[in-house]
Structure 1
């Protein structure tokens, strides 16, 4: 496949699939976040596109100070064009969900449906406090302390304890591939500035809003607000799983995801009056 973008992307599954699903991760930016979903999506017959966001992972680069969610949406359009994908089902986790909302506003013809995982439509004071603490840790102690704290915000405590080696390996990997303080601060500033709350009614795409009630970073009520504001939304709430419940409760999440994509991909039916 000819690559017309500097961003790293991967295309999985059948090239002649009827539907393409693009996966956009959260603050970490890595395509690898979606590993628990890849097998299920491919087995269901979907063509799947995953990518490393600009200046993260295998997508090198330096972000301008004013880099915004709208710029991240432009990056996704580059990938859609490079993969010759006219339209996709877009699944985004946290920051990735904001990118999907922006795409649905800017170029709705490219979005067949949205899956928003622990996302939001406007800033909230609790998440702001969490980001303030994380940035203070990054500035005062450095990247190692920052990534050591990351699982606290991603996963439930019991899950972290039960998967201690996996969590330790993830922390080591995150430290080894830390994108730099400027990149991290710029990406956090972009998500903190995002506010499309007044425009939710303009997004007509079928949307699955998925959240876990024990998410310690983003209150589940932000997802409730999304579901209430979007005109064609289905809300799925899990009691447990944390901010990354697509990882910690992958089987349950995948079942909900595939059922939604099946409905969203079904041909529209019309009734003609006799």
Structure 2
């Protein structure tokens, strides 16, 4: 599987499908496969590029501080190395933070922006959760770690299906590219340091902000702040799903993404 050496790390990426490029950036404790349930719908119309962020999966996990801006720079360098000049850009949770920074630093590379279950800056409760999630891997095995974080990710309805939760826990336990405690710690601190609040007004590409109605980790208020701050943003609240709606409601998420993309100006120009 392909890797490129950028910014001092070996960065893993995957490309499938044909058409306009669509880059997908996953969040904390997730690799490129987190988008897998959306892929059958997306690759029918787009060339879909996925990557493993610094600190997780098959990408290097250096033991030094990370930042959201740094991970955006990693992503921009990937696009340059693989010869893709401009993309539709989607990010989930931390991936949405990275996508915002990429759109701000390199507006010429971004045709449109899709922010899923994301935020401009965390509040006190969110920051406390993420700080704890960054510290726990040094003290818990992967099974216990999953049991701590999953209630924040999935809805009551999803949790009522024990075999689904068991499957997700087993996937994490048997994941062949085990995360390092320091990689997760540095990702968590990057999330805590992210803040685009005062710069949202400088994002001028067409933007879709989407959140699950039952998201208790990055609640609707976070997405409302993004949609209100970004000049050309549309807010969509899905009735089904919480923070993990890429797994709980993949068809609905993919449908909303494709609807947004198909309605963009054909030349991909900014609506500004």
Same fold (TM over 0.5): yes
Aligned to 2:242: 242
Give distance in 1, aligned partners of 2:92 and 2:268. 27
Aligned to 1:126: 125
SS of the counterpart of 1:50? strand
Per-residue Cα deviation, 1:195-223 (whole angstroms, up to 9, x for no partner): 11001100101100001121121121000
Give distance in 2, aligned partners of 1:106 and 1:161. 43
1:170 is aligned, of 151, 168, 171, to: 168
- 8 A contact 1:2–1:82 mirrored in 2: no
Distance 1:219 1:84, change over 3 A: same
Task: Provide structure 2 residue ranges, at least 5 long, that are not aligned to the other structure.
Answer: none
Give distance in 2, aligned partners of 1:179 and 1:268. 37
What TM-score, normalized to structure 1? Answer: 0.89
Give distance in 2, aligned partners of 1:189 and 1:3. 25
Measured after TM superposition, the shift of residue 265 of structure 1 is 5.4
Aligned to 1:226: 226
SS of the counterpart of 1:145? helix
Aligned to 1:68: 67
Distance 1:57 1:136, change over 3 A: closer
Distance 1:63 1:75, change over 3 A: farther
Give distance in 2, aligned partners of 1:247 and 1:141. 24
Q: For 1:56-95, what aligned pairs fall within 5 Å after superposition?
A: 56-65=56-65, 67-95=66-94
Q: For 1:31-180, what aligned pairs fall within 5 Å after superposition?
A: 31-43=32-44, 45-65=45-65, 67-135=66-134, 137-162=136-161, 164-177=162-175, 178-180=178-180
- 8 A contact 1:92–1:99 mirrored in 2: yes
SS of the counterpart of 1:264? coil
Per-residue Cα deviation, 1:65-101 (whole angstroms, up to 9, x for no partner): 2x10011001111221222110001110000000000
Per-residue Cα deviation, 1:22-79 (whole angstroms, up to 9, x for no partner): 0000102300000111110111x210001111231111332412x1001100111122
Larger Rg: 1
Give distance in 1, aligned partners of 2:268 and 2:160. 46
Distance 1:136 1:57, change over 3 A: closer
Measured after TM superposition, the shift of residue 137 of structure 1 is 4.3
Distance 1:227 1:182, change over 3 A: same
1:11 is aligned, of 10, 15, 18, to: 15
Per-residue Cα deviation, 1:120-142 (whole angstroms, up to 9, x for no partner): 11121221232244346445544
- 8 A contact 1:91–1:115 mirrored in 2: yes
Distance 1:267 1:193, change over 3 A: same
Aligned to 1:23: 24
- 8 A contact 1:21–1:47 mirrored in 2: yes
Distance 1:168 1:268, change over 3 A: closer
RMSD (Å), alpha carbons:
2.0
**Greater CA drift, 116-125 or 258-267:** 258-267
- 8 A contact 1:25–1:93 mirrored in 2: yes
Measured after TM superposition, the shift of residue 113 of structure 1 is 0.6
